[in-house]
Structure 1
Amino acid sequence: MPKLTPITAVTSPDPYPYYADLVAGQPFGFDDAQRMWVAAGAGAVSAVLAEPVLQVRPPAEPVPNGIVGTAAGKVFGRLVRMTDGTLQQRLKQTVVAALGTARPERTAAVAAARTADALKRSASVRELMFGVPAEVVAVLCGLDDDHADEASTLIAEFVGCIPATATVPQQQAAARAAAALTDLLGPALRDRGDGLLAELVRAAHPDTEPAALLANGIGLLSQTFDATAGLIGNTIVTLGRLTDDELRRPDRLPAVVDEVARHDAPIQNTRRFAAGPVTVAGSRLAAGEAVLVVLAAANRDPAANEAPAEFRPDRVDRTVFTFGAGAHACPGRSIASTIAAAVVSELLASGFEPTDLAPPTYLPLANARIPAL
């Protein structure tokens, strides 16, 4: 079996012994093969995520070259998850305030209803994993059912431009999708009725550009895509391995989902880029150097969580790096977890049996761990 790397580990059947070795042997260091720094230990990951000089995009390429000047590039360049600085923080607080108005019980109800409808159409588990979360967020944004379906389809095309491995056809499809999403979400933003888009407007500083709010409305959809799909899928896989049927009860599933987010993280790593020389975790980085931040390894660091290899839904004071930290901590963590628990609960109620699944393979992604169910 080929030796794992911090990238290939994401799709390994069991990357966690490898991650444990990283945490114990080199919690932070330079990987010659990957030609970047790797942060794996909880302390190093915390330090990297808290360091303002380490930014989310390469300084020389704030927007991927293949989408510069397109509708996708204009959206990408305004996303709070893809930018840094004072404006980013102001917009981030706007997004946090808007998401804070989403009631968990409504989110769960919409997710359950959307899942039930999809199951009536004989949707596959994979369609549920990717389609339902985006549909739910679209409904929460204020779109009607038909437009929510359309938004879910378009967001799948838009997110294709985000990975560094995006091809030219993917970037072109993302540009078309971004233009269509802008047209689709624009009325909900302008009408200022009910929903998360209207809440973005209400929470924003008066001089915030409408284009920035609209871009981050699209961002609400895009951020749910891979992360929530992985959270749903990894919860299903975990339930297939557990013998305690009590954990399948609807009232227990939220705790199961929270522990899955730590134990088998849907987002395994992220990256940071040095905007200038900086010392972090005791090492000196030069301007332009990259850091691979292995969130899934930090989740399993004994310094962060006691007996980290054990799956404990009742774990107290759980430390989870999956959703980031600091300026770029994901503001949609609660919504993603609520959607995942509701989708899995509805799927189980339909008679789906996780123990019938074959050992999973994983989609060929560099940072997201999503089983190909």
Structure 2
Amino acid sequence: MGSLFGGGKKTSSQSQSTQLPSWLSGASKKAVNMAENIADRPYQGYSGDRVANATNNEQAGWQVANGITGSYQPYLTQAADALGNANQNLTGADISSYMNPYTQNVTDVAANKMSDQFAQQQNARDENAAQSGAFGGLRSELGDQYANKQYLDAIGNLYTQNMGNAYNSAVNNWQADRANQSALAGQYGNMASNAAGLTSNAANTLMGAGQEQRGINQAQADANYQNFLDQRNWGTNNLNTLLGAVSSVPHGQTTTSTATQGSDPSTGQKIASGIGTVASIAGMFSSKDYKTDKQPVEGSVLAKLASMPVDTWRYKGDSERHVGPYAEDMQEHFGVGNGKQIPIIDAIGTQYAGLKEAAQRIKKLEDKAHA
């Protein structure tokens, strides 16, 4: 029995080849070369900053914010001291410091004058008693006792009144000082609050300005990183553009057939001839305008191709070996063909779909590796 492509014992032979247009073949080879170059390209890390650093204004604002305690603490300390003074109890030691130190001297001077006047009056009384002959008598003695009592009462009243007035004045001064200390404590408290508020406002102003500047810096960092990605993915984007053009542009195919006297055409030759004819016809109608019921391939093309056995085999009755998938698997995984034959359109289409998915996966891996 003759081989599939070797023919029988007749004296004729036939060879047939199918060629894609040169521009399509060149574009396909270029796409494969580009994919290999992209896959072999070493890792290219991004050396720029992805996140903008804190600005000088933000750092200054943080320092000001950290110093808020130092800005109001002295006023709080003074307020506490003043409030403590305002709440003190009145003691003898306290009141003495508020009394006029000259009160005693002034009172003593007044008492001395009264003593001099009393002495003068006593001398006058003695002279009158002597002239009347009553000096040393009971009447004279009673008069002296009465005058002496009045003198002592006057001296006592003088000291009592002056020292009492001085004490009352000291108490009033002490109370006024307590009120002043309480008011001073409130003023120091207000000053502490104002200092904290001013410091906080200054910190917020600095940090607000710094955040705006950092936002601008972050936008610039994002733009720089995007420029890096655009440059890094330039080859991948070009590959996708090329793949899209190759898979979508309509094209025809050229079939060349030669015949010589020899044996009958083999099974493989007949199949090849049929493939060439179908490919030529299919290539003439590759435009989207001639196609309908368009749907994307469901699932992963690469996964389906990977699950399909690709063996080396011979057609029955043929000695020549071939390599390729089986029509049953193409029908099972892609729903094309009749389970007996693999249409050339579907064979080429699955290759394009697999190549496109491989390119997309390469791009995703590159993006993930460089993110």
Place the TM-score, normalised by the shorter chain, in its bin.
under 0.3
Q: TM-score, normalization: structure 1?
A: 0.18
* TM-score, length of structure 2 as denominator length: 0.18
Q: Which has the higher helix share?
A: 2
Larger radius of gyration: 2
Larger relative contact order (Cα-Cα within 8 Å, sequence gap ≥ 6): 2
